[in-house]
Chain A
Amino acid sequence: MAPRSKKATTVPSQTLVIDNGAYTLKAGLVPSAASDLSYDNCSMIPNCIARSTRDKRTYVASELADCKDFGELAFRRPVEKGFIINWEAQKAIWEHEFMDSSAGAGLRCDPKDTNLLLTEKPNCPKELQKNCDEIVFEQFEFAAYYRCVGGALNAYHPPSLGSLPQECLLLIDTSYSDTTIMPVYNGQLIHPAVRRLTVGGKLLTNYLKELSSLRHYNMLEETYLLNEIKEAVSFVAPSSQHFSKDLERTWKGRLGDKRELDSSIVLDYVLPDYEQSVHGYARPHDPAKSRMRRGLQPLQGPREDLLPLGNERFAVPELLFNPTDIGIHEVGLPGAVMEVLNGLPEALKVGMLANVVVVGGNTLIAGFMDRLEAELRSLVPANYLLNMVRADDPIKHTWLGAARFASQPEVIKEVLVTKAEYDERGSTWLGKKFAGESR
């Protein structure tokens, strides 16, 4: 049992923790004083409403698991650039996942008897924060609530040595909406030093979609499939030199000087037909098959649609390191990390470099961590210690940090605002309080 607070107002003993991403929302109910929290306490739910023109069905969030035909599936996402902008859709998804009879086991709750810890991306426009706060208390009527930048709560993971929160943490979050770099001191985000890169998983998927549609089939309506292909075949070249070499190996050559594509790097992705197969798969490129596809050779074997993937495999994720490749006027991720560090006093810089944690789905791209570490190493003064790790589960890690924060009764009670306080003082006051302006 949680110790009773000496504060006059009491808050419920369970907290719904939501890391509300644009692609998936990560959520779980956290009991007060829970000591054995793990990634298993986190449910990952598509944060979208999807409509299929084929089976005429609309899928709300977790219902997408029932979908067997992802062809031309259209998505409505309540979060844009990482911020909740459409409360009609977000409300429907939250109600479906947390409040209605459709809610999953371990997620269903009565907001009146539950605290809400909601994480947000840094640099959220104040108007959107205000909308969010008003909906949380006036529509959902949560008993108590705290909203903060999710990245900072990663300081509440138990450190290998020392106490909580971790003193210095440089969190790199490269996820669906974008890539953000967040220096955190004693669990507090150093707001003015935070920087973001436009490139995130969404842009990479859309870029692959654009390239595939230009070079092979019209796939502009196949966002789901292209995301799946991206996750299956992408890799980050170990260096700019490797990138150049790989570009040669995947070039068709010029007229009169045709080159054989290097099938140790070029793949054929066998597209799903959504009748026999729901998912596709990749295999080494077979030149005979592509001649058949172009009608230059008689068809043999089963009919299949192949998407050849050459330089797309590494030129797409390369945008994280060279956004200027498609004209985005931003330095790549390693340079961006240095920009953040250079906005900090020297002592903090040293501390941050010794504890760099990388989270987000893009970290799962093969070769990503090696390239980031190598390039960062070459930018950091040689006499500085650089210690960088990818979280064990880079997608659920921020949620788990938030859950650990929420599970400590005396910590969460300090920051929660109750509905009674909100009703008395209003959303402008609340916005200031969460921004740390009225302590």
Chain B
Amino acid sequence: MPHVEVLPNSAASVAPGWTYVVDTGYDPSKVAINPKNKKRAAANPNQRGENELSSRQQTAIARRIAELNRDNDPKQSIPIPGKTSIPKTQNARRIIQYQRQIKHWLDDEEAQLAQVQQVPQPSARSAPSRPVAQPLRRSSIMAPVPPTPSEATPAPPAPSSHMDLEDDPLLAIDSSMPPPINQAELDALLSASPLSYAASHVAPPPTGGPPPRHFCDNCGYWGKIKCLKCGARVCGMECKDAHEATRCLKWA
């Protein structure tokens, strides 16, 4: 018997191994006018969201991204042509012989940080893996819905307190001047250590934002149909066949 999962809000037509899911093909103009997705999510808190991924799918995506982000092909070895100078010291010899990939160095960095963090540190000098405070990440500046520039014909509303100054832009900017910088705060910021590589990545989009967009795995159009074998999306029956013949389960 084919395993058919009917997703919440799915339309009628169901094919073996396939089901229509609501086209969340993200259109910010629709989201802005009619935020029905949010309401629906709130109304059905217990239903599995159609955007949720199984851990298998998540692993598959992570592998694909790692592949897309790879610098060198480990299967390939291109020897250095011609003569090069011989290592001059023991250090140099050791370093020149390393054939490790960046992944190994970054794993080492994380492992060392984990060790350091287990031992109580007398000095605050070691690289924190995240800044101590994450100030204002979800502040009002980060609008929950991402910008829709062409739509924003009227400029984003300024705080009302500035409205009366609008006809004098210089004055408006002047009036919004922040408090002068605190030297101690600045010094602390300038002398703080860098984050680790892993910690330096930006945060995911804010949770209140628009849902991720889904695209057809085959042709790149909106992905309206979900493959139940691997979770990929396709746009229609034609691309469903192509997907099954090519990439279904490729990254799983």
Residues of A within 8 A of B (CB): 22, 49-51, 58, 60, 74-77, 79-81, 83, 85-89, 91-92, 95, 122-128, 131, 134-135, 138-139, 141, 177, 185, 188, 190-198, 202-203, 206-207, 210-211, 214-215, 238-242, 244, 247, 250-252, 254-255, 310-312, 315, 322, 324-332, 334-336, 338-339, 342-350, 371, 374-375, 377-385, 427, 435-437
Contacts and interface: CB of A to CB of B under 8 A. Distances in A.
Contact of A239 (B96, B149, B215): B149
A27 B164 CA distance: 53
A257 to B, nearest CB: 9
Q: Which 4 pairs between the two chains have the least Cβ-Cβ distance?
A: A378-B147, A346-B178, A374-B149, A80-B102
B141 A338 contact: yes
Interface stretch (B1-9, B10-18, B41-49, B132-140): B132-140
Contact of B135 (A50, A74, A332, A343): A343
Given A86-B98, A138-B91, A214-B246, A437 B148 contact: no
Contact of B220 (A134, A315, A335, A427): A315
A254 B13 CA distance: 16
A58 B80 CA distance: 8
Nearest to A312: B220
A139 B182 CA distance: 45
A335 B146 contact: yes
A85 B219 contact: no
A88 B220 contact: no
Contacts of B73: 74
Given A131-B95, A348-B181, A382 B204 contact: no
B19 interface: no
Contacts of B178: 345-347, 349-350
A196 B202 contact: yes
A91 B84 CA distance: 8
A139 B205 CA distance: 45
Interface in B24-80: 25-29, 61-62, 64-65, 67-73, 76-80
B190 interface: yes
B118 interface: no
A185 B190 contact: yes
Given A192-B192, A194-B194, A345-B189, A331 B204 contact: yes
A364 B17 CA distance: 43
Interface string B166-177: 000000110111
A259 B44 CA distance: 38
B72 to A, nearest CB: 6
Nearest to A328: B65
Interface in B88-123: 88-89, 91-92, 95-102, 105-106, 108-109
A92 B86 CA distance: 11
A378 B27 contact: no
A330 B201 contact: yes
9 contacts: A58-B79, A85-B100, A87-B95, A203-B69, A215-B218, A241-B27, A331-B203, A346-B178, A383-B175
Contacts of A139: 85, 87-89, 92, 96
Contacts of B181: 345, 347-348
A197 B201 CA distance: 6
Contacts of A326: 61, 64-65, 68
A214 B190 CA distance: 48
Contact of B200 (A91, A194, A244, A379): A194
A383 B219 contact: no
B201 A125 contact: no
Given A92-B80, A379-B143, A191 B96 contact: no
B68 A379 contact: no
Nearest to B214: A325
Max count, chain A CB within 10 A of own CB: residue among B71, B199, B200: B71
A207 B68 contact: yes
Contacts of B141: 338, 342, 379-381
Given A80-B101, A211-B220, A252-B219, A195 B202 contact: yes
Contacts of A330: 201-205
Given A325-B213, A383-B162, A83 B201 contact: no
Contact of A192 (B61, B106, B186, B195): B195
A255 B237 contact: yes
A185 B190 CA distance: 8
B68 A122 contact: no
Nearest to A383: B176
A188 B71 contact: no
Contacts of A255: 236-238
A196 B102 contact: no
B199 to A, nearest CB: 8
